[in-house]
Chain A
């Protein structure tokens, strides 16, 4: 028993749907322009009561129900977010408290859009080594709190939402070894400067170039898991932009895989995008339990992480 597995996934999508036409009322853009540059048609924007803690907790409750375990059985709660309302306190302990995860440790992980994949890797390793039996990974984001609604290059991309997954023990490694790395030298390419300037900025072309050249790394995650790219049933990259997804996936050779394109409906929800996209494909019945699926997160840091997992 030295493996780990995904036991269940849950999500929360904010109620309010914002279209490209809605945004075109505020900034000079159009539905055609946004769709051709990003693939995005709609996105969800959270209301004031749909906080990181509220959205994360609701996604977590669904994940726990899907996994068939009680919050009291959790040994650890890991929250991946880069959009906490403030630096102090973190939101992970509040989610653990709200869920009733009375004996769990709790902490936040900020790895930008790669946060879910990193947190999943940490959770998997905790379970494998035995320091935890059940770990809850939550990814919750409110990018709208940091969006410059007058910057048409970024406000069209950013969105809100939450996803969660329960990780538990398994006889084999259903959550494969992670590949990870960073280019901290490009830290300024995606940033909220802070010190009074709390708006999201991005050097889109720099990020695009970095992301589409990560294909060999993505293939490496398949190699480590012993799964040929052609055997993948699904590919779920971070939902940044459809152009990045298409360019990145084209080089992998995942010829038989369903490729997640939740970005079209959900925009870029940073760390939450992978569980949101994963859940949409599972709900659509396009994957079966045990199917190998590649997850790959990349973004602010710059940093990336990915792994092949078996569907719950």
Chain B
């Protein structure tokens, strides 16, 4: 799956879970400070992303996902590994 497909998918999840405007979702944005996604919403985003992209994102790795770009790269790598 391409980076832009993953980005688009993440934007849809962020809109549904946390009401984030998809237009605001770009690779350089941080989830917490820029997109105002709190820690519990972040968990919901991760759970939804696991299902949507058929990947596993363990708790210990979630902390390293600061920006949308971090998540896109992680999902792409995890998808290839699977």
CB within 8 Å of B: which residues of A? 36-37, 204-206, 208-209, 212-213, 243, 247
Instruction: Check: B78 CB closer than 8 A to any chain A CB.
Output: no
Contacts of B38 in A (CB 8 A): 36-37
Give the one of A205, A206, A243 with max B CB within 10 A: A205
Q: How many Cβ-Cβ contacts under 8 Å join chain A to chain B?
A: 24
> Is the Cβ of B59 less than 8 Å from the Cβ of A204?
no
Q: B6-14, B20-28, B40-48, B67-75: which one contacts chain A?
A: B40-48
> Is the Cβ of A205 less than 8 Å from the Cβ of B62?
yes
Q: With A37-B38, A243-B40 given, is the CB distance from A206 to B59 under 8 Å?
A: yes
> Is the Cβ of B39 less than 8 Å from the Cβ of A209?
no
Contacts of B47 in A (CB 8 A): 209, 212-213
Bound Cα distance from A208 to B62, whole angstroms: 14
Contacts of A206 in B (CB 8 A): 59
CB within 8 Å of A: which residues of B? 38-40, 42-44, 46-47, 59, 62
> Is the Cβ of B44 less than 8 Å from the Cβ of A205?
no
Chain A to chain B: the 5 pairs with minimum beta-carbon distance, closest first: A209-B43, A208-B43, A243-B40, A205-B43, A208-B40
Q: Which residue of A lies closest to B50 (CB)?
A: A213
Query: Which DSSP category, helix, strand, loop or mixed, fits chain A's interface?
Result: helix
Q: Which residue of A lies closest to B51 (CB)?
A: A213
Known contacts A37-B38, A205-B43, A209-B47; 5 additional CB pairs below 8 A are A204-B39, A206-B59, A208-B43, A243-B40, A247-B44
Query: Taking the nearest CB of chain B, how far is it from the CB of A144, in angstroms?
Result: 24
Contacts of B46 in A (CB 8 A): 209
Bound Cα distance from A209 to B46, whole angstroms: 9
Bound Cα distance from A247 to B59, whole angstroms: 18
Bound Cα distance from A270 to B40, whole angstroms: 20
Query: Taking the nearest CB of chain A, how far is it from the CB of B8, in angstroms?
Result: 23
Bound Cα distance from A37 to B44, whole angstroms: 13
> Is the Cβ of B44 less than 8 Å from the Cβ of A212?
yes
Give the one of A36, A209, A213, A243 with max B CB within 10 A: A209
Give the one of B38, B40, B42, B46 with max A CB within 10 A: B40
Give the one of B38, B43, B44 with max A CB within 10 A: B43
24 A/B residue pairs, CB under 8 Å, sorted by A: A36-B38, A37-B38, A37-B40, A204-B39, A204-B40, A205-B39, A205-B40, A205-B42, A205-B43, A205-B59, A205-B62, A206-B59, A208-B40, A208-B43, A209-B43, A209-B46, A209-B47, A209-B59, A212-B43, A212-B44, A212-B47, A213-B47, A243-B40, A247-B44
Bound Cα distance from A204 to B47, whole angstroms: 15
